[in-house]
Structure 1
Amino acid sequence: MNVPPEILSQCWFLAGPTAVGKTETSLLLAERIDAEILSLDSMAIYRQMDIGTAKPTTAEQQRVPHHLIDIIDPDEVFSTAEYVRLATQVASEIVSRGRSPLFVGGTGLYLRSILRGVFEGPDADWEYRLQLEAEEEDNPGCLHEKLKDCDPILAEKLHPNDLRRVIRALEVYHQTGIPLSAQQQQAARVPEETSGNVFWLHPERDWLYERINRRVDLMFEQGLVEEVRGLLERDPPPSRTALQGLGYKEMVEHLNGEMTLEEAREMIKVRTRQFAKRQHTWFRNLPECQEIKVTGNQSPLDLVDEIIVHSKP
């Protein structure tokens, strides 16, 4: 599945690691180019998961129209192909209104899938998925090892804790006998076919890490513990995918008595910094992405000015 080129050519993209300052920059950029914002965040899709996902506030969403936020409940399943399908529909509607679609977020897989297309693959085999989940529960890490055997290329790209995508890759191989990485490559649009304005904010590491630490502390002040406790009391309960999100996984471990509150806080900071490194890798490896250096001394308006200078007419 590919976004039609006539729509993609009118899209703007602002990516970057967590806590780099995408929200305020994107609001200013959207106002400058008369855009509506589409979330490029795989966790912002969930309702009732607000603090740990650092969603734009109600005031920010009223300032500029936002889309693809709060679209499913935490117990629901949502694939990358479904994201691309819905994003294509929303972007087309925005273009029909004479405005520009501006994708904003840090999920590299979503960004790549919008730019290059996504292989939809066979329907879900729920019985096989449950079998794999049981295997992982009995022997943590075994599914990623299994993926190394049948699709080493994709295994290299996926973190062992990214169980949703690891299981999907194993499922596709189980049903087709062809590695998912090979099928994705066949379906992908080459970078040269992608037009539009694609930017990513590349910050200084120490500056970003300090911002990450402050953001995590703020999440605790805003009530992250209570948010996760409420999620665990839901019926039906959140899916494993939802609870694997940064901040949520650690809080579940704390509420289950596996670590103290301060240990959970520090673990969230460590894992978020590690996640930011992986985000950098995603954006650096997409040649469509133009790098915008973030020194920590620029204002959001300065960053918008630089983006405009490097944009295509």
Structure 2
Amino acid sequence: METASPDTTAKPLVCVILGQTASGKSTLCHNIAKRIDSEIISMDALKVYRGMDIGTAKASPADQQAVPHHLLDLAAPSESFNVARYLDDLEGVIRDVLNRGHLPLIDCGTPLYLKTFLSGMLESPEPDEELRAELETMSSTALHRRLATLDPEAAATLHANDRKRVIRAVQYAMQTGKPISAERTQFETRRTDYRFVLTGPLWDEAILRARIEQRVERMMTAGLIDEVVRIHNGEGFSKTAREAIGYRQLLEHLEGAYSLEEAVEKIKRRTWQLARKQMVWFKRYRDVKWLQVKSDEELMRAAIFLAGELAGEVRASMKGAPPEPRREPRLDGLYHKSR
């Protein structure tokens, strides 16, 4: 990462639209991109998989044709995919978008990807496969209890059912002798080669939960189970892809673990848990300008507002460019301080 010049307005601008699942952040991105010269860059750990379209709420072919989208469909569901591979692609895409004179508009639903993009990756020791195999045999409760002993701060932020991250935190502490929570000062540092605007829609929890349940029902109606069957009977799912919410529950249903109705309820419940966990991560960024919305109409107003704001920010990032008159009225009270 390069160190930028002291003149912050001369740095290229990158806008990150972040938010919880089902919050409408992708809709916000699309409606902004239709109003200003910008291109949407997906920052989602699951939308990278080809064919996993319905369950990831991937932009439709029509939306992708209307507005340039990047970093979708990078891998087959049978492939493993990680943040390092994503970041390698992301850096080149951002440069290309800027070179075309457009604003990179990042549609972010994966907090880990955002953290590593802004602050770099945590240096981890070489994986000890024997230790990991031993940890995998432990129950979720026992693992979380072990983590609470090794790293109480990490244990307080991770649910016992989040086995992947609990195992990683336990393994890190056992291999390095240091708690992984002590390494999280990364959130306090940020790369300096770009000027960032972080914003996104913020909903009342009751409204968001209702939106999540409605979206799951729409996915089922759109043929999510057929999508799962097609991939399962074709190339199959990698371990990472199989764990995706919606896909895992329907695969378990197809394997006879529970009824379709139970699977749908599990999807709704796990999606709500994900949304709450996403906000825990996003709240660590104190400079996020949250946009308080209560309806789809207000989400559209937010897009109009942001398009006007960002048009001015883009001009400010161009050396010698005079400020452009505001074309849309300022919507006082739309911004909401971080919770």
TM-score range (shorter-chain normalised) is 0.7 to 0.9
Could you say what secondary structure the match of 1:11 adopts?
strand
Answer yes or no: is 1:18 the counterpart of 2:21: yes
Verify the 8 A CA contact 1:51 1:219 in the aligned structure 2: yes
For 2:108 and 2:255, locate their aligned partners in 1 and report how far apart those are by CA, in whole Å: 31
Q: Secondary structure of the residue that 1:267 maps to in structure 2?
A: helix
Correspondence 1:256 to 2:255: yes
Do 1:118 and 1:184's aligned partners in 2 also have CA atoms closer than 8 Å?
no
Q: Which shows bigger deviation, 84-93 or 165-174? A: 165-174
Structure-2 change in CA distance of 1:153 and 1:71 (3 Å): farther
1:217 match: 217
Q: Are 1:292 and 1:307, in contact at CA under 8 Å, matched by a contact in 2?
A: no
Query: 1:85/1:126 Cα in 2 relative to 1: closer, same or farther (>3 Å)?
Result: farther
CA distance in 2, matches of 1:69, 1:221: 23
Higher gyration radius (CA)? 2
Distance in 1 between the 2:2 and 2:260 partners? 44
Give the AA of the match of 2:281.
Answer: W
| Percent of matched pairs sharing the same residue | 36
Q: 1:175 to 1:192 in 2, by over 3 A?
A: closer
1:158 aligns with 2:161: no
1:190 lines up with 2:193 in the alignment: no
1:119 CA drift (Å): 1.8
Q: Which residue of 2 aligns with 1:304?
A: 303
How far does residue 77 in structure 1 lie from its aligned partner after superposition?
Answer: 2.8
**Amino acid aligned to 1:82:** R
Displacement of 1:80 in angstroms is 2.7
Q: 1:55 aligns with which of 38, 58, 76?
A: 58
Cα distance, 1:125 vs. partner? 4.3
Structural RMSD (CA): 2.8
1:91, 1:274 → 2: CA distance?
A: 31
Secondary structure, counterpart of 1:200 in structure 2: strand
Per-residue displacement from partner, 1:277-301 (whole Å, max 9, x unpaired)?
Answer: 2222222331121110111152543
Structure 1 residue aligned with 2:78:
75
TM alignment of 1:220-235, pairs within 5 A: 220-235=220-235
The one-letter code matched in structure 1 to 2:173 is Y
* Alpha-carbon distance between aligned partners in 1 of 2:240 and 2:70, rounded to the nearest angstrom: 21
Which segments of 5 or more consecutive residues in structure 1 lack a partner in the other structure? none
Contact in 2 for aligned 1:200/1:283 (Cα 8 Å): no
Given that 1:27 and 1:64 are in contact with CA atoms closer than 8 Å, whether structure 2 keeps it comes out as: yes
Question: How far 1:201 sits from its partner (Å)?
Answer: 0.6
Residue aligning to 2:323 = none
User: Cα deviation per residue 1:237-256 (whole Å; 9 max; x = unaligned)?
Assistant: 42332222211121122112
CA contact (8 A) 2:125 2:175 kept: yes
Corresponding residue SS for 1:33: coil
Q: CA deviation at 1:304?
A: 1.2
Supply the AA of the counterpart residue of 1:275.
Answer: L
Separation (CA, whole Å) in 1 of partners of 2:279 and 2:100: 34
Whether the 8 Å contact between 1:49 and 1:227 is mirrored in structure 2 is yes
Which residue is 2:279 aligned to? Answer: 280
Q: Which amino acid aligns with 1:147?
A: L
- Residue 126 of structure 1 and its aligned partner are, at CA, apart by 4.4
**Residues of 2 paired with 1:238 and 1:155: CA distance?**
30
The alignment of Structure 1 onto Structure 2 pairs a total of residues equal to: 307
Q: Which moved more, 1:18-27 or 1:191-200?
A: 191-200
* Corresponding residue number in structure 1 for 2:334: none
Identify if the C-alpha distance between structure 1 residues 219 and 116 changes in structure 2 by more than 3 Å, giving closer, same or farther: same
* Uncovered stretches (5+) of structure 2, i.e. residues with no partner: 317-339
Cα shift at 1:116 = 2.6
Specify the alignment match of 1:36 in structure 2.
Answer: 39
Tell me the CA shift for residue 128 of structure 1: 4.2
Equivalence for 1:270? 269
Amino acid at match of 2:50: R
Alpha carbons of 1:216 and 1:246: their partners in 2 closer, same or farther (altered >3 Å)?
same
Measure, in 1, the Cα distance between the counterparts of 2:260 and 2:246: 12
Give me the whole-angstrom Cα distance separating, in 2, the residues matched to 1:4 and 1:178. 30
Q: Does the 8 Å contact 1:44/1:69 carry over to 2?
A: yes
